[in-house]
Structure 1
Amino acid sequence: MISAEEALQLVRQYKVTLEVEEVALLKSLHRVLAQEVKADRDFPPFDRVTMDGIAIRAEDFLSGLRSFPIAQLQAAGAPQTSLDQAGTCIEIMTGAMLPRNANAVVPYEVCIIQDGIATIQAEQVVKGQNIHVQGSDEKVGATLIAAGTKITPAMIGTLASVGLSRVQVYSLPKIAICSTGDELVEVHETPLPHQIRRSNAYMLAAALLEEHLQANLFHLPDHPELMHENLSSIIQEHDVVLLSGAVSKGKFDFLPHVLEQLGLELVFHKIAQKPGKPMLFGTLPAGKIVFGFPGNPVSTFVCYHLYFRAWLQASLGLPPQQQSAQLAQPITYKPALTYHVPVVLRNEEGILKAIPVSTTGSGDLTSILKAKALLSLPTNKTEFKEDEWYPLTLL
């Protein structure tokens, strides 16, 4: 049995190298960028007008001139015009190129326009006002988004602005979720007194959807030969297998032995933690990865969030998510196990407080309905005091 800290380090160590694929721009949302995105032109690419109004020479205003004949009109998207005659102006729209020889834009709000003449009511006009200068945001060739970044909606706009209709991203692993146990029936079925509905697999599938990952769902019977046959074909078709149940020491927990027959290289089996002590992690031939989560719902949920997500982030090249919060009330816990406490969160004057959620154990599925995070209490103490800081994992 290893510590929770060692287990987390090991799953990150066994990250996989994902291939690069090219996808359509909108399909890249929430994917991890596999290319460096550089500015293909200055940002903005020209001196851009930022308000509707008139473009003038600031020097004309400073010389005392207040009324300017309108020489022409320039719209956004039109080619650049030129302010050729001193003492005149060009009526101009937001987003347009600043005309040659103009160096200030005076908004309509401080102008009166009558009979083709714009009279400025403002007391001051400053050279460069209401102009977004070419290259002031980024110069051509500058790195706008680094590879290894998770793509957000704002980044989609940036990708479009540099002409990337197709984007290189890291491929997503093919994931199988396998529930185990003859006591499980499908969601639409009415269970007999000795049966329960198959909930863990759907909970895991929904958690993966939050990561924008699709999974295939399977069920393995409590029969070693059938389990071996089914699991063998599942492993061939997937990169990662998430197993829920049958990894403990029960008479019908055949899974560890079946995995050994299929070539499992065990990395660890059992973590000094609660919940989720019996968790299994290892590798299979051809670089496949297997996570064996305990069958209790809370244990499955906790192990997924603590270990699978850490493995996924490492494989995608994303940095570890490190957060902490203050314990809002004291806890006494004596077993020498890392205790992952389900908590709700409250912000008190800028300090994140973690309030424990009452639970009856790792089979209490309803407790995780309330929890927003896990607060991990270490093994080196038994008394955990209010206002002490501990690692936090968001759910």
Structure 2
Amino acid sequence: MIPVSEAERLILETVTLLPEESVALADACGRVLREQLVADRDFPPFDRVAMDGIAIRFEDFQNGIRNFRITGLQAAGSPQQQLIGKGTCLEVMTGAILPEGANVVVRYEDVSLADGHATVELDEVKFRQNIHGQASDRPAGAVLAEPGMKISPAEIGVAATVGKAHIRVSAKPKVAVISSGDELVPVEQVPLPHQIRRSNVHALSAALRQWGVEVSCHHVVDEKEQIRNTLGALLESNHALVLSGGVSMGKLDYLPEVLEELGVEKVFHRIAQRPGKPFWFGRKKGAAVVFALPGNPASSFMCLHRYFQPWLQRCLGQKAETPVYAQLSSDFTFKPPLTYFLQVKLAFDPAGVLTAIPYKGGGSGDLANLVDADAFLELPAGETDFNKGEAYRVWKYRYG
């Protein structure tokens, strides 16, 4: 049995960067960027009018002129016009290029219009007020987004602005999720008294799809030959296998034995943690990495978020996320010498501190308790008393 830190290290040693692919801009949100997004021109590309109003010369106002003759309209998207003559102005719209010769924009709210003239009703104006200066946000050639970023709507807007109709991103990994056990029946089937519906495979695959993975779902019964045939094919056609159940010490837990028969090298089996102690991890050269998770719902769910997700992010070339910590809202005691992943509900206290409210539930088989909680709080091994106000690492599984 190995500690959590060692399990994490061994898993991350198997990371292989996924290849790149080009996708249409409309399909890029949520993918991991694999190229720089560079400003192809200044941001903004011209002195931009920031308010609807009139454009004047600062010098005219300083010389006492308050009534300006309107000589035209500078609309957004129209070619640049020019101020002609002393004491003139142009009406301007937000987003328009600033007229040549103008260096102040006075908003309509500070102007009265009558008989083709505009009277400024201010005692003072500032040079270049209400003007969004050319290149004031970013100059041409500036890097706007770096590889490794997860593309959000913000990056989509930037990519569109620089003319990227297609973007290079990390290819989606293919992952097979396999449940095992004679006691499991399909969701649509009414289980007999000794059976339960398959739930882990759906919870795990939903999380993987949320992370942008191409997922296929499978089920094997407790029969060696079927397990061998199914896993043998899936090992060669996927980047990773995520299995649920069949990895403990039971007489029908065949998965570790079959995996090793198929040439999968066992990296470790059993982590000093609760839940999720029987976790089996292995790899086959030139084939899939295998995450064989325990069958209890809270165990498999926790292990997926604590171990698989960081591994996936590295494979995608995604920048490491900043760890999140939360303070315990009450004292908690856990005596076994194991790392404990406590289910918690997250909330901000009146001071803005992220707090973790324990929702211990009924153990690793308590699927319903995951609905009440938001995250797992990682309580380190070697301690037994965890005090209110102490901060620990959080592994969130609820977003938005």
Please, what TM-score do these two structures have when normalized by structure 1? 0.98
Alpha-carbon separation, structure 2, partners of 1:372 and 1:173: 26
What is the rounded CA distance, in whole Å, between the counterparts of 1:267 and 1:322 in structure 2?
26
Deviation by residue 1:307-351 (Cα, 9 ceiling, x = unmatched): 111111222222044121112222222211111000112222122
Structure 2 residue 292 is the aligned partner of structure 1 residue 292:
yes
| 1:229-378 equivalent positions in 2, closer than 5 A | 229-317=229-317, 318-348=319-349, 349-378=351-380
Summarize the Cα distance change of 1:109–1:54 in structure 2 as closer, same or farther, 3 Å threshold.
Answer: same
Q: Contact conserved, 2:172 with 2:212, CA < 8 A, in 1?
A: no
State whether structure 2 residue 223 is matched by structure 1 residue 223: yes
Which of 319-328 and 185-194 deviates more? Answer: 319-328
> Secondary structure in 1 aligned to 2:73?
strand
Return the offset for 1:365: 0.8
1:338 maps to amino acid:
T
C-alpha displacement at 1:160, in angstroms? 0.2
Cα deviations across residues 44-100 of structure 1 (Å, max 9, x unaligned)? 000000111111111001101111111111110001111121211111111111111
- The answer on whether the counterparts of 2:238 and 2:287 sit within 8 Å (CA) in structure 1 is no
- Report the CA distance shift for 1:320/1:82 in structure 2 as closer, same or farther (over 3 A): closer
Offset of residue 14 of structure 1:
1.7
CA contact (8 A) 2:23 2:166 kept: yes
Q: For the aligned residues, what is the CA RMSD? A: 1.1
Which amino acid counterpart does residue 88 of structure 2 have in structure 1? T
Structure-2 change in CA distance of 1:98 and 1:23 (3 Å): same
* Residue 112 of structure 1: how far off its partner (Å): 1.2
2:172 counterpart residue number? 172
Deviations 1:125-183 (A, max 9, x none): 22101100000000000000011101111111000000001000011110110000111
In structure 2, stretches of 5+ residues that fail to align are: none
Asked if 1 retains the 8 angstrom alpha-carbon contact of 2:177 and 2:218, the reply is: yes
Partners of 2:175 and 2:320 in 1: CA distance:
22
Query: Aligned ranges for residues 72-221 of structure 1 at < 5 Å?
Result: 72-221=72-221
Bigger CA drift: 342-351 or 96-105? 342-351
Work out whether residues 176 and 240 of structure 1, in 8 Å CA contact, stay in contact via their aligned partners in 2. yes
Gapped regions of structure 1 (runs ≥ 5) = none
User: In structure 2, the residue corresponding to 1:267 is in which secondary structure?
Assistant: strand
Q: CA deviation at 1:267?
A: 1.5
Counterpart AA for 1:97: I
Whether contact under 8 Å (2:344, 2:375) holds in the other structure is yes
**Residue type at the aligned position of 1:148:** G
Query: What's the CA shift for 1:287?
Result: 4.3
Rounded Cα–Cα distance in structure 2 between residues aligned with 1:320 and 1:270: 26
Percentage of pairs with the same residue: 48
Structure-2 change in CA distance of 1:182 and 1:321 (3 Å): farther
Residue aligning to 2:389: 387
TM-score, reference length from structure 2: 0.96
Which deviations, in whole Å up to 9, do the C-alpha atoms of 1:249-271 show, x marking residues without a partner? 11011111111111112221110
Contact 1:232–1:262 (CA under 8 A) maintained in structure 2? yes
Select between 366-375 and 132-141 the one with higher mean Cα deviation.
366-375
Partners of 1:88 and 1:302 in 2: CA distance:
69
1:277-307 deviation per Cα after TM superposition (whole angstroms, max 9, x unaligned): 0001111231421100000111111111111
Count of equivalent residues: 395
Any runs of at least 4 consecutive aligned residues in structure 1 with deviations exceeding 4 A, and if so which? none
- Asked if structure 2 preserves the Cα contact closer than 8 Å seen for 1:4 and 1:271, the reply is yes
CA distance in 2, matches of 1:201, 1:125: 66
